[in-house]
Amino acid sequence: MSLDRRTVSEADFPDWLRAVGTGFLRSASAPPPEEEVAVRLAHTDLSRLQGVFDAGRCVATFRSFAQELTVVGGAKVQADAVTAVTVSPTHRRRGLLSRMMATDLAAAKERGDVVASLIAAEYPIYGRYGFGPATWTAEWEIDVPRAGLDPRAPVPSEADGGRIELVDGADVRKLGPELHGRLAARQHGVVSRDERWWQRGTGVDVPSFESWTEPFYAVYRSADGGTDGLIAYRADDHWGDGKQPLNKATVAGMLAVTPAAERALWHFVCSIDWITTVRSGHRAPDDVLPLLLPDPRAARIVTQADWLWLRLLDIPRALEARTYATEAALVVDVRDATGLAGGRFLLDVSPSGASCVPTTRDADLTLDVAELGALYLGDESPVRLAALGRLDEHRAGAAATADAVFRTPRRPWCPDVF
């Protein structure tokens, strides 16, 4: 019987969820409990769910949803966020992912989405579809006694005027969205969170495959009482043979919209009695954390990897949406084998605005749409891509000009996994 790729109906949904569990090696054979299916259905746009069915049984899954992505300068573009991509091990490498991806990207283009976004399970999967790694992540493990922080110092410092308060999940659901909105207005790479995100993130209706332990939550209030930062962390219970506390705090999330809040929250979590190790959670690779410590070598990098991948669907709108710190003009030839977004464009930028229009002028640079995805938020270097042979320079110095055009002083950061 031929494989049937189709949009998922309400009746298909439990089996579709079962197939996601199979593909992600979570559970072997049963759909989640009925109540959980109902909760998830209420938060799912079925028209953006695809499944492939073999003799009526779901063997491949794909979901996309509407997302806003903050670009350089703080504007937001509409993203087609891709998730729940699985193909059962019995049906792998027969082109099912390629079929579902082609269907989804065509629909996103038709809808007018500017980019598609995802967090890749494995690096080699998505480049072929025009995605490039646009943000990277780093995680540190801090040896607190070695870090050299003054254990007697109050946190935050009295000079700072702010204070740290412990709060609960209900407070986080109240305060978090506003704080996140302020972060999303300034940090490129941030993606939108809906109400459901804050519920799941604070233990409301958590799916059965996730084991949930309530974290500790603390907020940073500035001198004027505003909430400028939020941290969630969990602690284990580990004691040495000599009766010394050797507990580890693992940060589940930390958002800060001012440098004072950022410094205070890191200092706070590194100053909790009994805690001798802090795991930072996923941060931008240029996070201030290690250099906040008197001895930065006490912060060991434990993860360094690609994080948010982007696929440009509308190059003029994408490039005009972000800001640029320099004044320059570049003709960029973008290859896109799918025909969705490629072409030759004149990109004319200055600190007061940008225009990107199709052109027949000679190209300064040629690159694949996936490489443009890696450049888009300012993280990758065109000069480095040229050295790798992934960007062709047709005019001497054009890659260096592109470096000045695209790169940003601070690196992009996407705090979420989706």
Query: Binding-site residues for acetyl-CoA, please?
Result: 85-87, 93-98
Tokens of 347: 């990109």
β-strand pairing of 275-279 with 299-306: unpaired
Stretch that binds ligand ACO, among 116-124, 200-208, 394-402, 405-413 (CB under 6 A): 116-124
Strands in 134-261 per DSSP E: 136-143, 163-167, 216-221, 227-235, 247-256
Query: Which listed range, 78-86, 207-215, 278-286, 294-302, lies at the site for ligand ACO (CB under 6 A)?
Result: 78-86
Rounded Cα distance between 199 and 178, Å, is: 15
Q: Any contact of residue 90 with ligand ACO (CB under 6 A)?
A: no
Of 20, 49, 87, 257, the one binding ligand ACO by CB under 6 A: 87
Catalytic residue (one of 126, 131, 345, 406): 126
Annotation says 126 is catalytic: yes
- List binders of ligand ACO among 20-49 (CB under 6 A): 23-24
Q: Does 121 bind ligand ACO (CB under 6 A)?
A: yes
Least distance to ligand ACO from the beta carbon of 129, Å?
9
Instruction: Give the angle subtended at the CA of 213 by the CAs of 209 and 215, to the nearest 5°.
Output: 135
- Of the pair 13, 131, the CB lying nearest ligand ACO is at 131
What's the Cα-to-Cα distance from 411 to each of 138, 188, 252, 383, rounded to whole Å?
A: 12, 8, 21, 17
CB of 156 to ligand ACO, least distance (A): 38
State yes or no: residue 19 binds ligand ACO (CB under 6 A): no
What residues contact residue 91 under an 8 Å CB cut-off, 6+ apart? 3, 52, 54, 59, 60
153 binds ligand ACO (CB under 6 A): no
CA–CA separation, 392 vs 5, rounded Å? 39
Site for ligand ACO (CB under 6 A): which residue of 37, 72, 96, 265? 96
| Binding positions | 85-87, 93-98
- Rounded CA gap, 112 and 183, in Å? 25
Identify whether the C-beta of residue 257 lies closer than 8 Å to the C-beta of residue 179: yes
Orientation of helix 13-23 relative to helix 34-42, angle to 10°? 100
| Count of chain residues binding ligand ACO (CB under 6 A) | 22
Q: What is the DSSP letter of 283?
A: B
Among 57, 92, 111, 410, binds ligand ACO (CB under 6 A): 92
Member of 27, 83, 103, 157 binding ligand ACO (CB under 6 A):
83
CB nearer to ligand ACO: pick between 83 and 323: 83
Site membership for ligand ACO, residue 154 (CB under 6 A)? no
Interstrand relation of 308-312 and 115-119 (parallel, antiparallel or unpaired): antiparallel
Catalytic residue list contains 418: yes
Nearer to ligand ACO, 96 or 299 (CB): 96
Q: Reduce the DSSP state of residue 106 to 3 states and report it.
A: helix
Could you give the residue numbers annotated as active site?
126, 418
Where on the chain is the footprint of ligand ACO (CB under 6 A)?
A: 23-24, 82-87, 92-98, 118, 120-122, 124-125, 128
